[in-house]
A and B are shown apart, each in its own frame.
Chain A
Amino acid sequence: MKVLVAVKRVVDANVKVRVKADESDVELSNVKMSINPFCEIAVEAALQLKESGQASEVIAVSVGPDACQEQLRTALAMGADRAVLIKTGSDLEPLAIAKLLYTVTQREEPGIVLLGKQSIDGDNNQTGQMLSALMGSAQGTFASQINVVGEWVNVIREVDGGLETRSLRLPAVITADLRLNEPRYASLPNIMKAKKKPLEVIDAGDLGVDIAPRLKVIKVSAPPERKAGIRVGSVQELVEKLKNEAGVI
């Protein structure tokens, strides 16, 4: 069984993104870019499926500009067997990305498609669910444990209030939550080896998919800033302020 894992190039989690002065977009020039943390967890999950004998091959796929090859090389250095970049110049919406990923699933026929539950730039939390809809497959979002059992995969899901375990018919789409695993670091020899692993580049325009945006961004604004308040000297003073000044207790 093949496992397809999607990785996204995003602004590094430690960067505080700022809005451009003309409110047209956020400022992204010269900021550090990384693999989306949840995608990294998804890659690790895919590798663990292979290492435990539940999968035969791990294919990493990304959608975006040429620079995404960097993140695909990271996935290869972690241990993915090969990579596919669907190259596009424009910033795509989750539906368009799901449609492009769907074409790859049609070609590769993976048993499991793994994605991060959410990217830390768009914060949409949509692509995995949309891909699953297009595939007509079962969907296991917010996974904290994955276990293949014959033609099914059992997924423990992080839901509000606790955990839910569902059994999904393969092929299935699974999105990774925080506690699924701790991603490994790529070792230097593996980083070197990854340079020689196959990385195929496909032009998004050649896939015959409608990727036109459905949403028009009218304005991007900065949220209201909170101002720092005061320092209190003791717990007694804190309680007094909360009671008499703020009136919240």
Chain B
Amino acid sequence: MAVLLIAEHHEGALKSGTLNALSAAASLGADVDVLVAGQQAGSVAEELASFAGVSCVLISDAPEYADQGVENVAALVTELVKASTYGHVFAASTAFGKNLLPRVAALLDVAQVSDVVEIVSSNTFVRPYYAGNALATVESADSVKVLTVRTTAFAAAEPTGALAPIKSISVSHDTGLSKFLSADFSVSDRIELTSAKIVISGGRGMGSGENFALLEKVADKLGAAVGASRAAVDAGFVSNDMQVGQTGKIVAPDLYIAVGISGAIQHLAGMKDSKIIVAINKDEEAPIFRVADYGLVADLFEAVPALEAALS
């Protein structure tokens, strides 16, 4: 039974999480078809065709998929699955994947398994819940398994010399249920949180949004991404797309520097798989020190500028 992987892309660029989900999908050993639904997304299809594990790229190029409206894309995916013999549907566990796959699963009348971190067999998967305090191994009895994959748990697929065929499919699904009005994407030269090798995050201790500039200066020196705890987002310091944690982004960089973050379980859920964790906090009792490889008890307003200077 083949696997259908849903590609995520934006303005002609493939989103990197798709390549982690591709590795997970390919680990089943079956053919993997990758669906690119969009408009003028041919370059995304061509890029995908060169990656290891891709058997075929399916491209559905139509205006109704241009804005990635979930109602239309879910209808398309559901029809593809019903018309074929796919045993699995995969997507990365990103805002896009989390929005789409539960809808697809319900349309297929099957369960969806969220945030898979390990594929034990074709019907058995491991996923964290309770803010990562427990890992459930679940066995699916459904004919089609619909999974979102935690991107930090699977290495990204690599390009190969070979090119998989690209097949155009003309299935139109304009449900007319929703319309795209506008997007407001933070334009930043900074590397994305979920693919950064180094992440420096600030918490409530930062005191204000302006003070995040201190972290940005260090990030510039290290080529790092900047994140935040939920407390910092709640306090209005920074935008929600910077949130690392149970209900934000899950990261697992080589180095994670937590600054002014107490270390609530909800935050740890988003970063505890990082290779090296550094905590800088003036409260020596802060729970973050219990998971930190290197802890520095210090006032962040002195330590962070000193760190920037030491890296110069």
Where the two chains meet, the residues of A that have a C-beta atom closer than 8 Å to any C-beta of B are 11, 13, 16-19, 26, 38, 93-95, 98, 117-118, 120-134, 137-142, 144, 154, 157-169, 177-179, 214-223, 226, 228-236, 238-239, 241-242, 246, 248-249
Contacts and interface: CB of A to CB of B under 8 A. Distances in A.
Given A121-B129, A123-B114, A248-B275, A231 B297 contact: yes
A217 B136 contact: yes
B240 interface: yes
Contacts of A11: 130
A178 B234 contact: yes
Interface in B71-129: 71, 74, 94-96, 98-107, 109-115, 124, 128-129
B272 interface: yes
Contacts of A130: 102-103, 105-106, 112
A139 B310 CA distance: 49
A81 B277 CA distance: 48
Contact of A144 (B140, B240, B277): B240
- Interface SS of chain B: helix, strand, loop or mixed? mixed
User: Of residues B106, B181, B234, which shows the largest number of chain A Cβ atoms within 10 Å of its Cβ?
Assistant: B106
B230 interface: yes
Given A16-B265, A95-B105, A166-B69, A226 B277 contact: yes
A248 B255 contact: yes
Given A129-B99, A236-B310, 7 more contacts: A123-B115, A134-B106, A137-B177, A139-B71, A214-B140, A230-B294, A248-B254
Interface in B17-42: none
Nearest to A139: B70
A238 B307 contact: yes
B137 A217 contact: yes
Interface stretch (B50-58, B160-168, B285-293): B285-293
A246 B290 CA distance: 18
B233 interface: yes
A209 to B, nearest CB: 12
Contacts of A226: 272, 277, 290-291
Contacts of B138: 215-218
- Interface SS of chain A: helix, strand, loop or mixed? mixed
24 contacts: A19-B134, A95-B106, A125-B98, A126-B102, A127-B102, A130-B105, A130-B112, A133-B74, A138-B177, A142-B99, A154-B181, A159-B95, A161-B186, A162-B239, A178-B234, A214-B140, A214-B141, A215-B139, A229-B292, A230-B293, A232-B294, A236-B310, A238-B307, A248-B198
A138 B75 CA distance: 12
Contacts of B310: 235-236, 239
Given A133-B107, A215-B113, A232 B74 contact: no
A99 to B, nearest CB: 9
Contact of B290 (A163, A223, A228): A228
A120 B255 contact: no
Interface of B: 10, 15, 69-71, 74, 94-96, 98-107, 109-115, 124, 128-142, 176-186, 192, 194, 198, 222, 230, 233-234, 239-241, 243, 246-247, 249, 254-255, 265-266, 272, 275-278, 289-298, 303, 306-307, 310-311
Contacts of B104: 133
A169 B176 contact: yes
A165 B284 CA distance: 43
B184 to A, nearest CB: 4
A238 B298 CA distance: 12
Given A231-B296, A235-B296, A166 B233 contact: no
A139 B289 CA distance: 41
Nearest to A173: B103
A129 B102 contact: yes
Contacts of A26: 130, 133-134
B222 A178 contact: no
Nearest to A153: B178
Contacts of B105: 95, 126, 130
Contacts of A38: 247
Contact of A159 (B96, B181, B194): B96
B64 to A, nearest CB: 14
A126 B111 CA distance: 10
